[in-house]
Chains A and B, each alone.
Chain A
Amino acid sequence: MTQRPVAAALLSLAALACTRASDGPAPGVLVVSVDKQSAWVRNFNPLAAGGGARWPTTGGIYEPMLVFNSVKGEYVPWLATGYTWHPGATGLTFTIRRGVRWSDGAPMTAADVAFTFDFLRRYPALDSGGTWKRLDRVTLDDAEHVTFHLRTPHVPALHGLALTPIVPEHVFGRLADPLTFTNPEPVATGPFTEVRVFKNQVFELGRNPHYWGGLPAVTAIRQPAFPGNDAANLALINGEVDWAGDFVPAVERTFVGRDPAHFHSWAPPVGAMVFLYANTTRPPFDDPRVRRALSLAIDRERVVEVGMYGYTRPANTVAFSARYDRWRDATLDDSPESFVGHDPTTAAALLDAAGLRAGPDGRRLGRDGQPLTYTIDVVGGWSDWVRSAQVIARDLTALGIQTTLRTFEFGAWSERVQKGEFDLSVGWSDEGPTPYDFYFWLMNPESVAPVGKASPGNWHRFGDPESLALFEAFRTETDPQAQQRIVHALQRRFVATVPAIPLFPNPSWGTCSTRRFTGFPSELDPYARLSPFAQPESLLVLTRLRPVP
């Protein structure tokens, strides 16, 4: 009795389904997939804590004084045309670019730069770069020059200062409550400042008519909301997304292979180095011979093959990712102390020397005579790390140290490692612009926090007193050649002391389609990373892309 109406309803629904609206973007509109959200929340405040601002607030809307190209490890002049260090590295003067305008037409001058830093001083909650830990005061010299006076000489402070997004005084200076400002209509210097569309599922940023680099060739950036990688990858392989930085499984087959002439993927190993951290406050990991033995027991080729599907390379002797290539002392690769090779025999000998002898069943005994058993802490669900840790656990067990995996929910894991309450854990490392920051959080005694106190780095609690003077020297050294010598010396300390066990550098994912736009960075033209989420590096790409006519 109900059959006829039901059939009619089904028919009309089917008809409805067949009327497809065209969803394709207009020519010149770049479709990007960066943030993973099911719905957009409007926030374009470049100083907002916690990274809650929509992409590309700090890499397309607002701009810093210098942009860092992490593939080449170089600074590119941006709102500042240059900088000079004062003798003794206590002060730093930036020359601000002339003729830059805010998107509302007002001129951008050195006064805005001075204002930005004064603003951060007044609201420490917004100072996510921690610039005022180093700064004493900021002075406006004239319309083109700003000088930063440091409390103590600190050359690495350059990065935090240079990459701080500059905000307009005539907008931010009038805010009643800057801490909860979501900046719905940004006034900025970047190439894309006009919020043309903002809906819960998609938003679009139009060009800045006053852009100092000339009107961008891309007419707008559009970001559809994708709640997860699967939905984003489906759109990507369908050719609906022009630029993305999501992990694509078997990218050559699933994506590039569908249109090799236009679909490209590039994942240089410039991300953070991933380590196996051994807690040096817990014996026997306080003994460098034991850490060296653990390192030599690990077959990194296999870790990379199984854990990372071969998307990266094993760690090198000094644990540098590709972004530090120009700092690397390659001669250390031949050093007898190098500990990144796979050499179980030497590893066993080192354990013998350290007093961890093998029992009758082949299992290593601790100094108290008990067999050694440890767990490697990893975040459950981070499948690349879980697979890597499985390979490592097997290698260590083969060495006679019974090792198993323990997975944690992210919050619980980060609490344990930050407080130093673990035996072995897989973790990332600092990604600073120079090896100074990277090594600082690996082996500088000043970065060691007591066990039980949450520390943002140096989770393994290792300090090498002999490296102190080198870090000290680097902080006052502005000459590139002399800096290079100091970093070489630091590399020798790293190889000699084995602060932690490097595994592999993280690749920086990037995929693009050249059907509609050209000019993306690539291995042949590495002017930036291909990862859109790398802000403010994305500015280099957004200003270089050209629509295909």
Chain B
Amino acid sequence: MAFALRRLVFYLVAAWFAITLNFAIPRMMPGDPATTIFARFQGRLAPEALDALKASFGLTDAPLLTQYGTYLGHLFTGDLGLSVAYFPSPVSEVIGTGLGWTLLLAGTAVCFSFALGTLLGVLAAWRRGGRLDAILPPILSFLGAFPYFWLAMAALWLFGYTLGWFPVRHAYGSDLEPGWDLTFLVDVVRHGLLPASTIVLVTLGGWMLSMRNTMLGVLGGESILYARARGLAPRTIMWRYAARNALLPSVTSFGMALGFVLGGSLLTEIVFAYPGQGYLLLQAVRTQDYPLMQGIFLAITLAVLAANWIVDVVTMMLDPRIR
């Protein structure tokens, strides 16, 4: 328990540091949002509009320390400010349009990919040199090495456009009303299947190989030899002794991957026209929308920290040596 608390304090300090960086970095970028937005109109906006833009975004010349104080104060009250790119909508509302879908799509894909990849890794290592071990790793590495954009486009073109098995865009049919009824849920699954599969396809190899390799190391260890000598059932050795120990490094990377889910999967979102955080982040960077950038970075930072803390706790449970 003390271990978990120690880690918690550590993560709180890390969170403060990240929050401060989050404040500082956008302010070091060149240009200010009003002139950028103005320039983006490419002459379609009268030059007189610049002053109006500056006034409406509340661009102040207040000292940085004052701005930092206001920033911290607002953070704790959950007020992330007004978005510049989607002015005058609040950042929390803008993030809200994609957060749930990102969690659903990328979250499910990462979890599924981790579970399946790890399972395949265990099986491949257990029957080293067997059929599974010989065929899958090269295929999956090959797929994983493809540019994701290309793979997703090809999948979209083949399964969505040519064969027509899956919808080509969006998270649900546009004539459906979002709700918790079966029709809607089925539709969501139908829309999410293709984008999620492409993510799983490219990440599966990584999980499988890392699990397989660690597992092989563990299987070569003396503890396993001892367990065999004691005559334990092979299945017990495989799961309770080998896999459990080999899982530790994978769990750490899983925590990282889970934390980054909130960053969204930009390419997936763009190819499959799926709502989510990745596109918002791109949009925020393009338009120098500091409030929106900060809001998203904050969400990512906190998610990474939280995921890592959970991983620490899980590792603690898996590995008695840490306790």
Residues of A within 8 A of B (CB): 13-14, 16-23, 37-43, 45, 48-52, 124-130, 133, 160, 179-182, 199-202, 222, 224-228, 230-231, 234-235, 238, 272, 410-412, 414-415, 418, 428-432, 441, 454, 456-457, 506
A-B contact count, CB below 8 Å?
A: 198
- Given A16-B190, A20-B164, A23-B174, answer yes or no on A411-B29 (Cβ-Cβ < 8 Å): yes
Could you say which of B56, B101, B275 has the most chain A C-beta atoms within 10 Å of its C-beta? Answer: B56
* Chain A residues positioned under 8 Å from B172 (CB to CB): 201
Contacting residues of chain B (84-133) with chain A, CB-CB under 8 angstroms = 84-89, 93-94, 97-98, 101
Q: Is B237 part of the binding interface, using a Cβ–Cβ cutoff of 8 Å?
A: no
The verdict on A39 contacting B275 (CB below 8 Å), with A50-B37, A50-B87, A52-B87 known, is: yes
Given contacts A17-B166, A410-B36, contact A124 B52 (CB under 8 A): yes
For the complex, give the distance between the alpha carbons of A133 and B87 in Å.
Answer: 24
Q: A412-B30, A456-B38 are in contact. Are A231 and B169 (CB under 8 A)?
A: yes
Q: With an 8 A cutoff between CB atoms, is B60 at the interface?
A: no
> Which of A125, A128, A224, A238 has the most chain B CB atoms inside 10 A of its CB?
A128
**Segment of B39-47, B63-71, B218-226, B312-320 in the binding face:** B39-47
Q: Decide if B275 touches A225 in the complex (CB within 8 Å).
A: yes
Asked whether any CB of chain A lies closer than 8 Å to the CB of B142, the reply is: no
**Is B249 positioned at the interface, with any CB of A under 8 Å from its CB?**
no
Instruction: Tell whether, in the assembled complex, residue B53 and residue A128 are in contact, meaning their CB atoms are under 8 Å apart.
Output: yes
Asked whether, in the complex, the Cβ of A454 is within 8 Å of the Cβ of B35, the reply is yes
For residue B270, which residues in chain A have a CB less than 8 angstroms away from its CB? 38, 227-228, 230-231
B165, B169, B189: the one within 8 Å of A18 (CB): B165
A-side binding surface: helix, strand, loop or mixed?
loop
Interface pair A224/B88, CB less than 8 Å apart: no
Given the interface pairs A38-B269, A43-B88, A125-B52, the reply to whether A23 lies near B98 with Cβ below 8 Å is no
User: In the complex, which residue of chain A has the Cβ closest to the Cβ of B274?
Assistant: A38
B161 at interface by CB-CB < 8 Å? yes
A41-B97, A415-B30 known; A52 and B43 CB under 8 Å? no
B12 within 8 A of A: no
Binding site for A on B (CB under 8 A): 29-31, 35-53, 55-57, 82, 84-89, 93-94, 97-98, 101, 153, 156, 161, 164-176, 178, 186-187, 189-190, 193, 269-276, 279-280, 283, 286, 288
B29 and A43: CB pair below 8 A?
no
CB pair A202–B174 under 8 Å, yes or no, is yes
Q: Which residues of A contact B170 (CB under 8 A)?
A: 201-202, 224-225
- Most A Cβ at <10 Å: residue of B44, B161, B272: B44
Residues of chain A within 8 A of B85, CB atoms compared: 50, 52
Contacts of B288 in A (CB 8 A): 411
B52 with A128: CB separation less than 8 A: yes
Given A38-B279, A52-B89, A238-B161, residue A125 in contact with residue B187 (CB < 8 A): no
* Known pairs A128-B46, A199-B178; A43 contacts B86 (CB<8 A): yes
Asked whether A38 and B280 contact (CB < 8 A) given A49-B57, A418-B39, A430-B47, the answer is yes
State in angstroms the CA–CA spacing of A40 and B275 once bound together: 9
Q: Given that A39-B275, A411-B30, A414-B35 are contacting pairs, would A179 and B88 also be in contact in the complex, using a CB cutoff of 8 Å?
A: yes
Cα A231 to Cα B195 with chains together (Å): 14
Among B51, B98, B156, contact of A130 (Cβ-Cβ < 8 Å) = B51
Q: Which residues of A contact B87 (CB under 8 A)?
A: 48-50, 52
Q: Is the CB of B97 within 8 A of A457?
A: no
Q: With CB as the reference atom, state the residue of chain B lying closest to A533.
A: B44
Listed A/B pairs (11) with beta-carbon separation below 8 Å: A17-B190, A124-B52, A130-B47, A200-B98, A201-B170, A224-B169, A224-B170, A227-B269, A231-B169, A410-B39, A415-B35
**In contact, B55 and A227 (Cβ under 8 angstroms):** no
Interface pairs A-B: 6 shortest CB-CB: A130-B48, A456-B47, A38-B279, A39-B97, A125-B56, A414-B39
- Complex CA distance for A49 and B285, rounded to whole angstroms: 19
A31 to chain B: closest residue by CB: B174
B88 touches A181 (CB 8 A): yes
A49-B49, A224-B169, A272-B44 known; 15 new pairs, CB 8 Å cut-off, are A17-B166, A19-B186, A21-B173, A23-B173, A38-B269, A38-B275, A39-B276, A39-B279, A41-B89, A41-B93, A180-B82, A200-B98, A226-B169, A230-B153, A428-B42
Q: What residues on A are CB-neighbors of B52 within 8 Å?
A: 49, 124-128, 130
Give Cα A418 to B30, complex, Å: 12
Beyond A21-B175, A127-B52, A456-B50, is A429–B88 a contact (Cβ under 8 Å)?
A: no
Q: Which partner residue on chain A sits nearest B34 by CB separation?
A: A50
Does B53 lie within 8 Å of A49, measured CB to CB?
Answer: yes
When C-beta atoms are compared, the residue in chain A nearest to B156 turns out to be A234
- In the complex the two chains form, what is the Cα distance from A181 to B89 in whole Å? 8
Across-interface contacts of A126 in B (CB, < 8 A): 52, 56
Contacts of B47 in A (CB 8 A): 130, 430, 441, 456-457
List chain B residues, Cβ under 8 A from A225.
170, 273, 275
* B97 near A17: Cβ-Cβ < 8 Å: no
Chain B residue at minimum C-beta to C-beta distance from A181 = B88
Contact (Cβ within 8 A) B89 A50: no
- Cβ contacts under 8 Å, B283 to chain A: 37
Chain A hits for B173, CB < 8 A: 21, 23
| Residues of A with C-beta under 8 A to B38 | 456
* A contact residues around B271 at 8 Å (CB): 230-231
Shortest A425–chain B CB gap in Å is 12
Q: How far is the CA of A234 from the CA of B175 in the complex (A)?
A: 19
Chain A contacts of B176 at CB under 8 A? 21
Within the assembled complex, what's the spacing in Å between the Cα atoms of A129 and B209?
Answer: 60
A526 to chain B, nearest CB (A): 19
Q: With both chains docked as a complex, state the minimum distance between the C-beta of A448 and any C-beta of chain B, in angstroms.
A: 13
Q: Is the CB of A128 within 8 A of B186?
A: no
A234/B168 in contact, CB under 8 A: yes
A500 to chain B, nearest CB (A): 13
Q: Tell me, rounded to whole Å, the shortest Cβ–Cβ distance linking A117 to chain B.
A: 14
Contacts of B168 in A (CB 8 A): 234-235, 238
- Which residue from A52, A124, A202, A441 sits with its C-beta under 8 Å from B51? A124
Q: Closest approach, in angstroms, between the C-beta of B101 and any C-beta of chain A?
A: 8
Is the Cβ of B275 less than 8 Å from the Cβ of A43?
A: no
Contacts of A411 in B (CB 8 A): 29-31, 36, 288
